[in-house]
């Protein structure tokens, strides 16, 4: 009788979780439809959804195939997702933005849902709370949608590594994440090394596949640009432009009192007057070290509030679970993976531009799942962390519900 009752309760909870997922997708879709259905043009990063074109066509003299560039707003694999969506699903110019934003939103919420199912298999109350934290954050509505797609790729890699799924498939998801945007390549490489070391520590004789498959998939995803388009998929660099834009944006209101120049004028003045000897971002760091260190301090002042705005009260249990990492056994890989992914987003952003909320939001599902799982695991010896996690989760959830989260970057 007791076992039957437990199965019935488990079934009801499972149904409740699915209902919550469906409602979250429906509400998020309704919010997407409140914005224009036309994709915003350049220089808005979301324009990659409109401009990516995977059609193979003949221009009269030769075949043309435009393959995505890693340095562009959609990277390679986020752009591929948009291009494949347009090839499969009929869209119009007036509805394309609705289509792809809804697709990216649903993919992120569903993958977050299954990541929590994987990390917390027997604790539906924690899963529901964690999912509500993610859903009410509003980050599934982000533009550019490449941020949301990259979150999905990271979620899928973690699910596949934890299950575990075949290493070829797991490596594929990791390659998708690393090529989602140029700034994610460092994090993907670090996660690849972590995955290899983790499998090796478990005594897996095939651990070397954790290095081989992501590299092979990444090469295959980059190869079409080299063979078909004949162009360098790594061409260009956004670091110098991003630095000059941020530097002038940070300081122009303090430097000019009577008339504030436009962004373009401020960037030009910064390049020609302040950093006249610098041609690249590396030149800025090496030739103007004191000015650069001043900039790093200003960047930190801009970044820290944004990080706090993403995680809110959950920053406290996140810090606590990382401080107790040596006590963690079952969920150590998930904890390290979430931490490494976050660190590899934070440091480059902080050192080159500053940490926008949408940058760090990519690791919100992973960090939430890791925090909940570790708090539950360590509760066997220290229940205070789980109590703090519950308390901070409810406070954060209340904050997000009352404020309707209103994403601002």
Encoded tokens for 242: 């991003």
DSSP string, 372-398: HHHHHHHTTT-HHHHHHHHHHHHHHHH
Q: Is 336 inside any structural domain?
A: yes
Question: What's residue 117's pLDDT?
Answer: 96
Number of domains the chain is built from: 1
Query: Are the beta carbons of 90 and 32 closer than 8 angstroms?
Result: no
The secondary element (H helix, E strand) that includes residue 64 is: strand 63-64
Q: Is 176 inside any structural domain?
A: yes
Residues in the chain: 409
Residues of the chain short of pLDDT 50, as ranges, are: 230, 236, 405-409
Nearest Cα residue to 99 out of 156, 45, 29: 29
DSSP string, 200-254: HHTT-TTTTHHHHHHHHHHHHHHHHIIIII-S-TT---SHHHHHHHHHHHHHHHH
Q: Is 263 inside any structural domain?
A: no
Q: Is 262 inside any structural domain?
A: no
For the stretch 322-367, pLDDT in tens is 999 988 889 999 999 999 999 999 998 898 888 999 999 999 999 9
Question: What's residue 229's pLDDT?
Answer: 52
What is the torsion angle, in degrees rounded to the nearest 10, for the CA atoms of residue 12, residue 13, residue 19 and residue 22?
A: -140
Encoded tokens for 9: 């309760």
- Angle between the 364-378 and 289-311 helix axes, to the nearest 10 degrees? 70
Which residue carries 């005594």 as its tokens? 203
Q: Is 245 inside any structural domain?
A: no
- Per-residue burial over 315-338, b = 16 or more CB atoms within 10 Å of its CB, e = otherwise: bbbbebbbebeeebeebbbbbbbb
Task: Look up the pTM and report it.
Answer: 0.91
Q: Is 267 inside any structural domain?
A: no
Query: Are the beta carbons of 400 and 136 closer than 8 angstroms?
Result: yes
Provide φ and ψ at 94, rounded to 5°: -80, -15
Q: CA–CA separation, 177 vs 185, rounded Å?
A: 8
Helices and strands in the chain: count of H runs, count of E runs: 18, 2
Q: Is 188 inside any structural domain?
A: yes
Instruction: Give the domain range for residue 79.
Output: 2-237+280-403
Question: What's residue 54's pLDDT?
Answer: 84
Nearest Cα residue to 393 out of 50, 87, 130: 130
The secondary element (H helix, E strand) that includes residue 22 is: helix 2-32
Q: Is 109 inside any structural domain?
A: yes
Encoded tokens for 118: 């994987």
Question: What's residue 274's pLDDT?
Answer: 84
């Amino acid at each position: 009788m007791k076992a039957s009752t437990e199965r019935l309760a488990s079934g009801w909870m499972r149904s409740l979780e699915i209902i919550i997922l469906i409602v979250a997708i429906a509400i998020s879709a309704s919010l997407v439809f409140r914005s224009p259905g036309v994709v915003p043009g350049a220089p808005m990063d979301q324009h990659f959804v409109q401009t990516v074109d995977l059609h193979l066509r003949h221009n009269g003299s030769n075949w043309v195939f435009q393959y995505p560039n890693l340095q562009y707003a959609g990277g390679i694999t986020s752009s591929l997702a948009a291009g494949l969506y347009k090839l499969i699903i009929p869209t119009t110019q007036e509805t394309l933005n609705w289509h792809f934003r809804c697709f990216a939103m649903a993919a992120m919420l569903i993958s977050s849902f299954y990541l929590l199912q994987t990390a917390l298999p027997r604790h539906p109350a924690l899963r529901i709370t964690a999912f509500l934290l993610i859903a009410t954050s509003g980050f599934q509505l982000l533009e550019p949608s490449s941020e949301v797609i990259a979150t999905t790729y990271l979620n899928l890699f973690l699910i596949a590594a934890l299950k575990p799924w075949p290493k070829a498939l797991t490596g594929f998801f990791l390659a998708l994440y690393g090529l989602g945007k140029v700034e994610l390549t460092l994090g993907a490489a670090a996660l690849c090394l972590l995955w290899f070391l983790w499998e090796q520590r478990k005594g897996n004789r095939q651990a070397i596949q954790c290095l081989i498959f992501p590299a092979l998939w990444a090469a295959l995803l980059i190869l079409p640009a080299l063979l078909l388009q004949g162009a360098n998929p790594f061409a260009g660099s956004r670091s110098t432009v991003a630095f000059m834009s941020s530097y002038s944006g940070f300081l122009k209101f303090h430097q000019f009192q009577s008339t504030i120049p436009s962004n373009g004028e401020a960037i030009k003045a910064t390049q020609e007057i302040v950093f006249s000897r610098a041609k690249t971002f590396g030149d800025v760091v090496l030739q103007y070290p004191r000015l650069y260190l001043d900039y790093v301090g200003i960047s930190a002042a801009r970044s820290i509030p944004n990080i706090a705005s993403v995680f809110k009260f959950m920053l406290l249990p996140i810090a606590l679970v990382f401080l107790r990492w040596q006590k963690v056994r079952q969920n150590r890989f998930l904890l390290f993976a979430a931490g490494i992914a976050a660190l590899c987003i934070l440091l480059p952003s902080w050192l080159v531009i500053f940490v926008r909320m949408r940058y760090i939001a990519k690791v919100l599902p992973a960090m939430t799942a890791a925090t909940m799982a570790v708090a539950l695991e360590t509760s066997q010896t220290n229940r205070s962390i789980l109590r703090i996690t519950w308390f901070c989760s409810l406070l954060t959830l209340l904050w997000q519900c009352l404020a309707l989260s209103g994403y601002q970057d």
